[in-house]
C-alpha cells in the first residue's frame, strides 16, 4: 500500500494531510476543552451582578470598552494580567468588544472603587479630563430589573448547569432568597456611595441601576 501511495503523489499528499489533521485535532481539542473550563476559584455572577451586566449591555458599554486583555506587554502594563478563556466560562454573551474608545475594563475592579464609579458615571469629564464619555444621570433614578436578573440566573443554572447553590459557590435559592442576597450585596455598595437619593431609595427597598452596574464592575478582576 505504501509503495502505491509513493507512486501517486496526489493521494500521498491527501494521506499526509489527513494524518497531520487528525494528529492536530488530537493535540488541540483536549487543550481547548481544558482551557475553556472555569478557572480555579471562579464563581458565577450573583443576581445583582447579572442585573448590572444587563445595564452594561443595555447602555452599550461594550461598544466603547473591550473586556479582553491581549498577552502583549503594552497591554499587561496598563490593564493587568492578560485574559484567560476560562475566565469567561459564565459569560453569556461574551462582552469582549471590538473597540477601545475607552480603556479595557476586564480588570477594572482591581483599580477602581465604588465612589470612583459613582462620580465617573455622573460626570466622566470631571473625573477624567478630556473624556468624551457621556453622563448617565438616569442610572441614579431607574430601578434595576432584579426579576429579570433572577430569571437569567435561574435559567443558566437549569439549562447550562451553572453551579449555583454549590459549596463555596454563589447562593441562589428562591426568588425571596435571591432578593435578600441582592439587598445584602447592594448594602455594602450603597454604604460607599454619596448620592442621597440612592441611599434613601435603598432604605425603601429599591436598588438603582447604578448600584447594580457598580456591583458588576467591581466583579471584573
What gap in Å lies between CA 160 and CA 105, rounded to an integer? 26
φ and ψ at 208, to 5 degrees? -80, 160
Least confident of 12-16, 46-50, 98-102: 12-16
Of the pLDDT bands very low, low, confident and very high (cuts 50, 70, 90), residue 188 is very high
Is a pLDDT exceeding 80 seen at residue 33?
no
Least confident of 29-33, 34-38, 81-85: 29-33
φ and ψ at 164, to 5 degrees? -75, 160
Is a pLDDT exceeding 60 seen at residue 187?
yes
Condensed to tens digits (0 to 9), the pLDDT of residues 136-150 reads 999 999 999 999 999
**pLDDT on residue 25:** 67
Longest dimension (CA), the chain: 85
Share of the chain above pLDDT 90, in %: 76
CATH superfamily assigned to domain 47-219: Cytochrome c-like domain (1.10.760.10)
**pLDDT on residue 36:** 60
**pLDDT on residue 40:** 87
Is a pLDDT exceeding 80 seen at residue 152?
yes
φ and ψ at 143, to 5 degrees? -75, 145
DSSP code for 184: H
Share of the chain above pLDDT 70, in %: 91
CB-facing half-sphere around the CA of 204: CA atoms within 13 A: 9
Which cell goes with 187? 448594602
Condensed to tens digits (0 to 9), the pLDDT of residues 75-117 reads 999 999 999 999 999 999 999 998 899 999 999 999 999 999 9
pTM, full prediction: 0.85
Of the pLDDT bands very low, low, confident and very high (cuts 50, 70, 90), residue 167 is confident
Beta bridge partners of 170: 164
Amino acid at each position: 500500500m505504501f509503495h502505491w501511495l509513493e507512486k501517486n503523489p496526489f493521494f500521498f499528499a491527501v494521506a499526509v494531510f489527513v494524518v497531520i489533521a487528525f494528529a492536530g485535532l488530537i493535540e488541540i481539542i483536549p487543550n481547548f476543552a481544558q482551557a475553556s473550563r472555569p478557572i480555579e476559584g471562579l464563581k458565577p455572577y450573583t443576581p445583582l451582578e447579572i442585573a448590572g451586566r444587563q445595564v452594561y449591555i443595555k447602555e452599550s458599554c461594550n461598544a466603547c470598552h473591550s473586556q479582553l486583555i491581549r498577552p502583549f506587554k503594552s497591554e499587561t502594563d496598563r490593564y493587568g494580567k492578560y485574559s484567560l478563556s476560562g475566565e469567561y466560562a459564565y459569560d453569556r454573551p461574551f462582552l469582549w468588544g471590538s473597540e477601545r474608545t475607552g480603556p479595557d475594563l476586564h480588570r477594572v475592579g482591581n483599580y477602581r472603587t465604588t465612589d470612583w464609579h459613582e462620580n465617573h458615571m455622573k460626570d466622566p469629564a470631571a473625573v477624567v479630563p478630556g473624556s468624551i464619555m457621556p453622563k448617565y444621570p438616569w442610572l441614579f433614578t431607574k430601578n434595576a430589573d432584579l426579576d429579570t436578573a433572577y430569571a437569567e440566573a435561574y435559567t443558566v443554572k437549569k439549562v447550562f448547569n451553572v453551579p449555583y447553590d454549590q459549596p463555596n459557590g454563589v447562593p441562589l435559592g428562591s426568588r425571596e432568597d435571591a432578593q435578600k442576597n441582592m439587598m445584602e450585596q447592594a448594602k455594602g455598595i450603597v454604604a460607599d456611595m454619596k448620592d442621597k437619593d440612592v441611599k434613601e431609595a435603598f432604605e425603601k427597598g429599591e436598588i438603582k441601576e447604578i448600584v447594580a452596574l457598580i456591583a458588576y464592575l467591581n466583579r471584573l478582576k
